[in-house]
Structure 1
């Protein structure tokens, strides 16, 4: 793409966009902002406090209101954190609406909040919203705010596009990408690895069951936002070959995944994409997981195995085959189909089309 654009990226306000990442959405937004900037675009990232200043961050104006006793006693009182997030996005969108979205050429919404979607029709600047999740009531309502407004939507997988198709039939699929220059091949090994947010819907407790049944060591890594779940379902099972390595930086995580013989992916929900699968493949590490959501769009028989959820015995049995897969084929799959470069090429093409229109 020859034109250098002024691009506004709208990120999540709940977690800072910086390492160590709170989750895949934060990692995706950080990588996209960096790659667009390295390609010469002027990027402004609207994100939560504490985000990486190297990304050209404008902090979302999260105002912590002080409520009176009367307001707190109101039975309709909204959770204060949700109210603060609402007002942050409202302030941002009102500011953008005052001048129609200038000085930006395109606004790319990567948040999960409904207001950037609901207020997009008020802007003259084209707004792209990437659908990172299955349909939610708030987002579905926002899409229907302006009858006749079709919007510009992308989906992170065919699976996610199909989920939204009844309401948004024209969402363009642009698969998420990982920086294969940074997520580089490792030597492999005999241990298993599981990484991501340690929360019930990601199923790390099932990964422990499968690893134990397979008789192989398992290393867990990632943030623990649901401490009660971690304390109840994970901590008591540590030891005897299962260890928790902590919430690692990207470089530390790359080293850990690269030393593993296989990565386990155990979603207990339909994954809209599955960034950890692409990251593991980029390290040359094959993946063994549950066949849920978009994982089958990333994995092929050359680089992984999928079994029905939640059959941990089938998962344990499939680990043996997974360990024999060619690490070079895993890396090749990531470079050709899951790269940050390919993803950004597609977004640049979309930006160009929107500006031409």
Structure 2
């Protein structure tokens, strides 16, 4: 989301600087802010309560950034947009001379709740869905701006192929239930995504493969868009309340209807005529949804994605938020 937002803002003529970790896209057309290195001493790390080196590196990087912004070393910026899950950009927002807007991408996290409690009026908050805004409502009031996908990259396809499940292959996304539901519906399924939890894959996914269920590996965006465009239905099976559900938006941008558990933000994304929702955790009801969703008009699904799930729509919203924070039209 941050990558797409930064790229689109630059395309609209804005001056964008990005603070991001190693491995970020070097071809992103933005100014990259330095990520300061830090190596704690052996004596410090010998403390019984010492955090991991990764935690310390992240903490040091955010602390250095916020101190630099607070000291006004670079006064070009009109607004700081925080997409991190770290507490320091929120806790240190009062020290900045420019407004800070934080997008809430997850359910409530204790360290972010603490930061908001100490600096409740110094940041503006946006949630990636109304469901996520409600989840944070006990500590912060947040506007809802759905994430957007580039509908010129996620292009409509012919459909008619097998069902597709995409995402991280982990227990909280429950792809094993997608396999069971599609087998019950008599619809072949392709699973695609990275395997951060190898034990889950070996225990729950591998034994279910074969007889109409295949694993396609971890695909890049181009290959994934082709796969989604060829699919007859995209299946989404969260075992938790998804804050947004980007895979559903990507599928609909390809014209592919969605069969999904009615959890988290998915009822906000999958509108009537673009897919079918099922009772959470009910594999038989999901099989029904798979069969019914395949009948949706792909042109209607694509049009819904263009109007409600696009990157253009998302950035329009954020531009209005930025302009409101700086008290008028935001200069490019």
Query: Normalized against structure 2, the TM-score is what?
Result: 0.94
3-state DSSP class of the match of 2:256? coil
Aligned to 2:222: 251
Deviation per CA, 1:84-110: give whole Å up to 9, x if none: 211111111111111176221111111
Residue of structure 2 equivalent to 1:158: 130
RMSD: 1.7
Other-structure match for 2:53: 80
Shift of 1:57: 5.1
Matching residue within 278, 282, 286 for 1:315: 286
TM-superposed CA distance for 1:205, in Å, is 1.4
Alpha-carbon separation, structure 2, partners of 1:31 and 1:317: 35
Separation in 2 of the partners of 1:266 and 1:345?
30
Q: Which residue of structure 2 lines up, in the alignment, with residue 349 of structure 1?
A: 320
Match of 1:5 in 2: none
Report 1:10-89 matches (<5 A): 28-55=1-28, 56=30, 58=32, 61=35, 63=37, 65=39, 67-68=41-42, 70-89=43-62
1:1-357 to 2 correspondences below 5 Å: 28-55=1-28, 56=30, 58=32, 61=35, 63=37, 65=39, 67-68=41-42, 70-99=43-72, 102-146=75-119, 149-169=121-141, 171-356=142-327
Alignment check: 8 A CA contact 2:93 2:122 kept: no
CA 1:238–1:327: 2 relative to 1, 3 Å:
same
Distance 2:327 2:194 in 1: 42
Shift of 1:208: 1.3
Cα shift at 1:127: 0.9
Q: Could you tell me how far apart the structure 1 residues matched to 2:171 and 2:190 are?
A: 17
- Structure 2 SS opposite 1:223: coil
How far did residue 320 of structure 1 move? 1.0
In 2 relative to 1, CA 65–231 (structure 1 residues): closer, same or farther, beyond 3 Å?
A: farther
User: Structure 1 CA distance, aligned partners of 2:71 and 2:40?
Assistant: 27
Query: Which string of whole-angstrom CA distances, capped at 9 and with x for unpartnered residues, describes residues 277-332 of structure 1?
Result: 11111100000010100100011220111111101111012211111111111101
Which sections of structure 1, spanning at least 5 residues, go unmatched? 1-27
Seen in structure 2, the aligned counterparts of structure 1 residues 230 and 287 have a Cα distance that, compared at 3 Å, is: same
Give the secondary structure class of the aligned counterpart of 1:245: strand
Change (3 A) 1:291 1:166: same
Residues 193-213 of structure 1 show CA distances to partners (whole Å, capped at 9, x for unaligned) of 011111111111111111222
CA contact (8 A) 2:94 2:122 kept: no
Q: Distance in 2 between matches of 1:73 and 1:82?
A: 15
SS at match of 1:113: coil
Aligned partners of 1:93 and 1:261: how far apart in 2? Answer: 47
Cα distance between partner residues in 1 of 2:153 and 2:282 = 34
| 1:122 to partner: Cα distance | 0.7
Query: In 2, Cα distance between the equivalents of 1:54 and 1:353?
Result: 30
Task: Please list the CA deviations of residues 59-99 of structure 1 after superposition, one character each: whole Å capped at 9, or x if unmatched.
Answer: 6626352542x544432121222222111111111111111
Between the aligned partners of 1:145 and 1:288, the Cα distance in structure 2 is 42
Per the alignment, residue 9 of structure 1 pairs with: none
TM-score by length of 1: 0.87
